Amino acid sequence: MNRLKQLFDKKDKDILSVYFTAGYPTLDATLKIAEELQKAGADFLEIGFPYSDPLADGPVIQKSSEVAIENGMTLKVLFEQLKSLREKIHIPVLLMGYANPMIQYGVKEFCKKAAEVGVDGVIVPDLPMYEYEELYKDDFIDNGLSNVFLVTPQTSEERIRKIDGLSNGFIYLLSSSSTTGKALNVSDEIGIYYQRVKDMNLKNPLIIGFGISDQKSFERANQYANGAIVGSAFVKTLADKDDYLSHIPAFVKAIKG
Amino acid sequence: MAHTNYRVTDKGYYGDFGGAYIPEMLYPNIEELRNNYLNIIAQPDFQAEFQSLLKDYVGRPSPLYLAKRLSEKYGATIYLKREDLNHTGAHKINNTIGQILLAEKLGKKRIIAETGAGQHGVATATVCALKGLECVIYMGEVDIERQAPNVARMKMMGATVVPATSGSKTLKDATNEAMRDWINNPVDTHYIIGSVVGPHPYPEMVSRFQSIISEETKKQLIEHTGSPSPDYVLACVGGGSNAMGMFYHFLDDEHVKLIAAEAAGLGVNSGHSAATSVLGKEGVLHGSRTILMQTEDGQVIEPYSISAGLDYPGIGPQHAHLHKTKRVEYVSITDAEAMDASLLLSKMEGIIPAIESAHALAQLEKMTFKGDEIVVVCLSGRGDKDLNTFMKYFNL
């Protein structure tokens, strides 16, 4: 059974997911960071596969992608690294990245490989519903992978329902219409938007992302959703390639409180 | 009819290419455009203002000029479609006029755009000044240095020029930054994309605004020759907006041979090229499925051409389709061939072309004509902006 589903069956609040870019700050960092995050108490992980033109990302994740590509990270290398993923990691793991590297790899092959190494789901921000449904849905389903869609404050209710219908993991609720790494939007309007989506009683759990950087923003997100995702704030702490692991326990503790 | 194959479907596809590969954050913006652009463009008051600005502000129709000495040299009847005579010096303004009127109708207060060489940036700053709208232009840090006069032009007209400092700091990164701006400003901002690239409906919308080029050409050909159909139509391709405008009304006339000249840079296999149709593979770039230059791992490769307007790593999705269906022949022209063609047109016709347009002219050297054939070349821009490059290259 899909590990994501198991997690959500067991836990329905204060779920912490952490994003980091594969191959950053060093090529072999991927699994070490994953292990450390699991030890520190992260509930699930999003491993980014880098792309040269990440247009939904702010400067921090862009930079990490650039460095990862320079370090030699490719999807081939990543799947090679992930062969031993399930020797030590038991929490759910998603891959996150842009459509083009996946299409070059071959989407069918990508999905097969992901399932083989024990990945539970995939988030591709620039693969919208129509294209997913028309071209790739079967590849995801045949391999038991959850596909996760994003919802923003501007997404209509009708579209949210459709996204809910097509999703089988969770819904990635954006804290604002923005690129990654901006400060959390705490306006009343955003509270109303969270509440509006919460009140829709969707079948998928809600996880809030973008702008979650500390305990305060994590708690605020959890008032409305089942959990939250930390990305840029975490990637920022990894910059020192000689000592990127030692900050991880304190970082996770500071978020979870 | 078979020719409908070349047109866009209601989902935004040209054959296998096109679509809208965009993050959800951009969906409402794109949806708003998609739902409204055809209606707005069809409105009589839109058309009246559009046509009047094209005539009185841009200076249309642009002449179709019979280049006699060039014709003699190549043994054909060669016409130049003089987009270089438009206000701001290139075809780019046809699109920005259309899009600024559209933005106004949509109630937008702020305009953003990307630019490489600065021609589209200038054309956007121009129409923003005309309409009194806030204008922010994203331009690669490297290009800002290379194209200082155009940066100054944009600033004079009140635009803010923001350097794109990510990635390779050129056109593709400026495009990423403009998209990021749009993600962060989803309600009050319109993004004027400068070429037939990006998510649907941009490729279709931009080619419609540029299609005035072939619409006029057909009428002018009737005046000159008695027939609207030439034997050949030539245009250069970076993203491909002047070529789409030049081909638009000829696509369905299968007797007209369409040729698109891409920039081969230092040579197609030199590692310094922008010949996307030869070097590219199918994938997704800037929101549409198309052909792009990329590594085996799907990372975008930075292209090279002496002409800043052609060094884009992809081509518009309709071009990808026209390439795949072989309706248009895509050829590669090196820096040296384009520079020779620039000098030749200057000396033989007294017209200094943009280096971009010279790529189309250079193709004439490689063709053999039967004598009475009619050829139209799109002279998409004038060479004023390239004087520094000419001075250096020719030791002037």
Predicted complex ipTM: 0.94
Predicted pLDDT of residue B3? 46
With b for 16 or more beta-carbon neighbours within 10 A and e for fewer, the B222-248 pattern comes to: eeeeeebebbbbbbbbbbbbbbbbbbb
d(CA B23, nearest CA chain A) in Å? 4
Q: CA B198, CA B211: separation in Å to the nearest integer?
A: 18
Q: CA of A40 to nearest chain B CA: how many angstroms apart?
A: 31
Question: CA A62, CA A216: separation in Å to the nearest integer?
Answer: 25
Instruction: Inspect the interface and report whether the beta carbons of A174 and B25 lie closer than 8 Å.
Output: yes
Say whether A126 and B186 touch across the interface (CB within 8 A). no
Residue B380 amino acid letter: S
Residues 6+ apart with CB under 8 A from A29: A23, A238, A241, A244
Name every chain B residue with its beta carbon within 8 A of the beta carbon of A75: 297-298
Query: Which domains can be identified in chain A, with CATH numbers?
Result: 13-256 (3.20.20.70)
Angle between helices B202-210 and B317-324 (to 10 degrees): 80
CB contact under 8 A, A104 and B294: yes
pTM of the shown model: 0.95
> What one-letter code names the amino acid at B122?
V
CATH topology of domain B23-53+92-206: Rossmann fold (3.40.50)
CB contacts, 8 Å: B300 with chain A: 52-53, 100
Catalytic residue among B104, B114, B177, B262: B114
Query: Which residue among the candidates B241, B332, B380, B385 is catalytic per the annotation?
Result: B380
Q: Collect all residues of chain A within an 8 Å Cβ-Cβ radius of residue B285.
A: 53, 100
Q: Compute the nearest-CA separation of A153 from chain B (Å).
A: 9
Helix (H) or strand (E) holding A70: helix A59-70
Of the residues A102, A177, A193, the best mutation for testing chain B's interface (the one with the most B CB atoms within 10 Å of its CB) is A177
Residue A119 near residue A82, CB atoms below 8 Å = yes
Contacts of A51 in chain B (CB under 8 A): 298-299
Can you give the pLDDT at residue A8?
96
Q: B292: which chain A residues are within 8 Å (Cβ-Cβ)?
A: 100
Please tell me the distance in Å from B300's CA to the nearest CA on chain A: 6
Of residues B330, B305, B302, the one with CA closest to residue B316 = B330
Site of tokens 């990894």: A238
The distance of B146 to chain A (nearest Cα, Å) reads 22
| Token code pair at residue A201 | 């009683």
User: Which of A73, A109, A126 has the most B C-beta neighbours within 10 Å, making it the best mutation to test the interface with B?
Assistant: A126
Q: What does the block give as tokens for A11?
A: 């836990």
- Burial code (b: 16+ CB inside 10 Å, e: under 16) for A130-151 equals ebbeeebeebbeebebbbbbbb
Query: Given an 8 Å threshold on Cβ–Cβ distance, is A104 in contact with B281?
Result: yes
Q: CB–CB of A154 and B28 under 8 A?
A: yes
Catalytic residue positions of A? 46, 57
Would you say the CATH fold of B59-90+211-394 matches that of B23-53+92-206? Answer: yes
| Cα→Cα distances B332→B262, B337, B362, Å | 5, 10, 10
Report the alpha-carbon distance of residue B337 to residue B321 in Å, rounded: 27
Query: Does B207 qualify as catalytic in the annotation?
Result: no
The residue in chain B having the minimum alpha-carbon distance to the alpha carbon of residue A150 is B24
Residues of B with Cβ-Cβ distance to A187 under 8 angstroms: none
Q: In angstroms, what separates the C-alpha of A100 from chain B's closest C-alpha?
A: 5
Q: Can you give chain B as a three-state secondary structure string?
A: CHHHHHCCCCCCEECCEECCCCCHHHHHHHHHHHHHHHHHHHCHHHHHHHHHHHHHHHCCCCCEEECHHHHHHHCCEEEEEEHHHCHHHECHHHHHHHHHHHHHHCCCCEEEEEECCCHHHHHHHHHHHHHCCEEEEEEEHHHHHHCHHHHHHHHHCCCEEEEECCCCCCHHHHHHHHHHHHHHCCCCEEECCCCCCCCCCHHHHHHHHHCHHHHHHHHHHHHHHCCCCCCEEEEEECCCHHHHHHHHHHCCCCCCEEEEEEEEECCCCCCCCCCHHHHCEEEEECCEEEEECECCCCCECCCCCCCCCCCCCECCHHHHHHHHCCCEEEEEEEHHHHHHHHHHHHHHHCCCECHHHHHHHHHHHHCCCCCCCEEEEEECEEHHHHHHHHHHHHCC
Query: A104 and B297 in contact by Cβ < 8 A?
Result: yes
CA-nearest residue of chain A to B172? A53
Which of B27, B166, B176 faces A128 most closely, judged by CB atoms? B27
- Residue B98's Cβ-count burial label (10 Å; 0-12, 13-18, 19+) is buried
Q: Which of B387, B360, B53 is nearest to B236 (CA)?
A: B360
Q: In chain B, which residues have their Cβ closer than 8 Å to the Cβ of A131?
A: 19-21
- Asked whether B81 and B235 are in contact (CB, 8 A), the reply is no
CA distance B371 to B374: 9
Pairing outcome for strands B232-237 and B257-265: parallel
d(CA B41, CA A72): 48
Q: Which fold has domain B59-90+211-394?
A: Rossmann fold (3.40.50)
Closest-CA residue of A relative to B284 is A100
Whether residues B284 and A103 touch (CB distance < 8 A) is answered with yes
Q: What is the mean pLDDT of each run of 10 residues along chain A (257 residues)?
A: 91 96 98 98 98 93 96 98 97 98 98 98 94 94 95 94 94 89 81 92 95 92 95 96 95 94
DSSP state of A83: G
Tokens matching residue B141: 């840090």
How many CB pairs below 8 A link A and B? Answer: 114
Tell me which chain B residues have a C-beta less than 8 angstroms from the C-beta of A182. 184
Scanning the structure block, which residue is given the tokens 């438009």? B86
Instruction: Locate the chain A residue with the closest alpha carbon to B179.
Output: A55
CA distance B352 to A96: 49
Query: Is B166 annotated as catalytic?
Result: no
- Chain A residue with CA closest to B19: the answer is A131
- In Å, how far is A257's CA from the nearest CA of chain B? 30
How confident is chain B (396 residues) per 10-residue block, as mean pLDDT? 72 96 94 96 98 98 98 97 98 98 97 94 98 97 88 98 89 93 93 97 98 98 97 97 98 96 97 96 97 97 92 96 97 98 98 98 97 95 94 96
Q: Return the axis-axis angle of helices B44-53 and B92-105, rounded to nearest 10°.
A: 150
Q: Where are the domains of chain B?
A: 23-53+92-206, 59-90+211-394
Predicted pLDDT of residue A1: 60
Local structure of residue A168 (DSSP, 8 states): S
Residues 6 or more apart in contact with residue B82 via CB below 8 angstroms: B62, B63, B64, B65, B379
Separation between Cα atoms, residue B250 and residue B59, nearest integer Å: 23
pLDDT computed for residue A156 by the predictor:
93
Amino acid present at A90? H
Long-range CB pairs of A6-14, under 8 A, 24+ apart, other chains included: A6/A92, A7/A43, A7/A44, A7/A91, A7/A92, A8/A170, A8/A205, A8/A226, A11/A43, A11/A226, A12/A205, A12/A226, A13/A222, A13/A226, A13/A227, A14/A222, A14/A227, A14/A256
**Are A101 and B297 in contact (CB < 8 Å)?**
yes
Q: Which residue of A has its CA nearest to B287?
A: A126
